[in-house]
Structure 1
């Protein structure tokens, strides 16, 4: 039987069985806690540069389908599971996860003790890792991992953002802009169900967006470090310039960039939040949310920015959303479009339209 290895930068090696596409992969090893939604997670551009560990012990027990894609391909560099299902339910028909990964040229490794791996990440923090079938290369691979920069040090947003302006005319009353830092298909879907949408590349200047006559701008999710020099030079600058001219709604990466644009700070979390079961306290109520992020807004840095953190994660008190004291700007660190996950907070898309019409929160 063929063997595959997950190698971590601290020298830890997990042995398993290869599936999916047969190749090596390098990335930041992160874990997601969802019991379902593997296709949505794998095709989420926010996983660019990462090796995704699924904590649920059986992955792929239903087939893939076109309805679940969040982009046009798998963005995770590799997938780690305890067990993958070779004969899924025919509920959705579609392909097996093995076929799905092979078609997308992404390797998988199964038979891993994912509980032990997740405990290691939770205790020690996120690690760089690699998947390989070459056992003899492991010692050299560990040294390369130690020396290699983290994937988040690259401009991952530049890899996944659209390259040209795209227009979606839905014959709606309101037209909004979508600044694409790696948007999930679910965000575009929920916007198009309510508004006409013009989608802009992440490095679009504010004056181009203003000239398009959009009435508000949604700042999308995306991968990597929001304080990357290219993001500060382009995206954060655009958000700062737009902040006094148009209503803004930031989601996930867009939440972090909003904080940076107005003078706040962000930081890398120990192991992040990834899954569709994260509790958020908002206006006296707990909402269950879908999340995928490894960076967070520093609450203490918001003083003097005009931004106020008004949503917090119940588990660790990290910032889950902000509003501006005077301007029509609000954000959520979680994903109100879910995909996968709960629909508890989808009302935020309607709130965006209300803010646009009324000009204030």
Structure 2
């Protein structure tokens, strides 16, 4: 059997059992606390550049289904689980996790103490790491320590659509979706309510003004929202459009709106990735799905016109905001992901109502 290791920049070297596609990969090591939805996590573009650890002890006990794809391919760089189920239930599909990762050229490692690894990340913060097959762990460790963080790259450019996509809906309002790595279920929720034009992340403001649109939607996506290439394209476009159209943002979209209006963002110690994050809004607590490693700096919102009206109950971070003068609002979590299970899908309806009331 080929040797397989998970290697972290702090010197942790954990030997396990390799599965999926056998190759050595490097990335930022993060964790997800969800008990199910592993296929949705694997295909979420917000995980681009990351090696994902699942906290649930057994993953892959149900088969792969095309219904649960959030994008056309697996987006994680590598996958770490306590136990990879070899005999998946065919209730959703017959393809196993192992075969699915092989088909997508993604390596996995199992038979590790994932609980200990996650506790270490919670204590120290996210780390660079590698999944290595049949290589000297010490040599790989040196490479890990010299490898740039994935967020140094423009990850959004790697997952955004490369062409304009149009989804017609007769008689509906027209919404431009700025795709920074949008999840499939977000597109589905928008298509239920609007005619949608999905555009690349770096589309200039002039395009929107020539399309007779009614509103703008800002998607989720990977990486640092304040990356120079994002600031000079997406954030610049939002800044130029914010006075002209109603805008709704989700996840990265929340952070981009803050930056466009003069706010700041920061990298969190280990982020929020899971399906059970409690968020307080208008006196009620909602259970939400989240996947982000950056957050909006609450103090930086002073003078931007935004007020934080969704607050994470666990750590007090900004989980949503609304503009006090413009028809703009956003959330850090994923209302399309059915964590509640349908608690916060009303936000898409709120956006639809907003378009009806704004001339």
CA deviation vs aligned residue, 1:193-238 (integer Å, no higher than 9, x gap): 1111001100001120121111001100000000000100000011
2-side partners of 1:161 and 1:310: how far apart? 29
2-side partners of 1:93 and 1:357: how far apart? 41
Give 1:172 deviation, angstroms.
4.0
Give 1:339 deviation, angstroms.
5.9
TM-score (norm 2): 0.98
2-side partners of 1:338 and 1:3: how far apart? 37
Alignment of 1:26-175 (within 5 A): 26-136=26-136, 138-175=137-174
CA deviation vs aligned residue, 1:262-305 (integer Å, no higher than 9, x gap): 00000000000001111100110000001100000000000001
Secondary structure, in 3 states, of the residue corresponding to 2:123? helix
2-side partners of 1:78 and 1:192: how far apart? 32
Alignment of 1:111-260 (within 5 A): 111-136=111-136, 138-260=137-259
Secondary structure, in 3 states, of the residue corresponding to 2:39? helix
What is the count of residue pairs matched by the alignment? 359
Tell me, which stretches of 5 or more residues in structure 2 are unaligned?
none
2-side partners of 1:221 and 1:186: how far apart? 11
Match of 1:13 in 2: 13
Give 1:114 deviation, angstroms.
0.3
Q: Is the 8 A contact 1:41 1:340 kept in 2?
A: no
Secondary structure, in 3 states, of the residue corresponding to 1:300? helix
Match of 1:270 in 2: 269
Give 1:340 deviation, angstroms.
6.7
Give 1:135 deviation, angstroms.
4.1
Secondary structure, in 3 states, of the residue corresponding to 2:232? helix
Secondary structure, in 3 states, of the residue corresponding to 2:95? coil
Q: Is the 8 A contact 1:37 1:340 kept in 2?
A: no
Q: Is the 8 A contact 2:298 2:318 kept in 1?
A: yes
Match of 2:291 in 1: 292
Secondary structure, in 3 states, of the residue corresponding to 2:190? helix
1-side partners of 2:307 and 2:325: how far apart? 10
Tell me, which stretches of 5 or more residues in structure 1 are unaligned?
none
Q: Is the 8 A contact 2:288 2:339 kept in 1?
A: no
CA deviation vs aligned residue, 1:35-71 (integer Å, no higher than 9, x gap): 0000011000000000000000000010011100011
Task: Give the CA RMSD over aligned residues.
Answer: 1.1
User: How has the CA–CA distance of structure 1 residues 172 and 188 changed in structure 2, closer, same or farther, with 3 Å as cutoff?
Assistant: farther
Match of 1:281 in 2: 280
Give 1:134 deviation, angstroms.
2.4
Q: Is the 8 A contact 2:205 2:240 kept in 1?
A: yes
Give 1:94 deviation, angstroms.
2.9
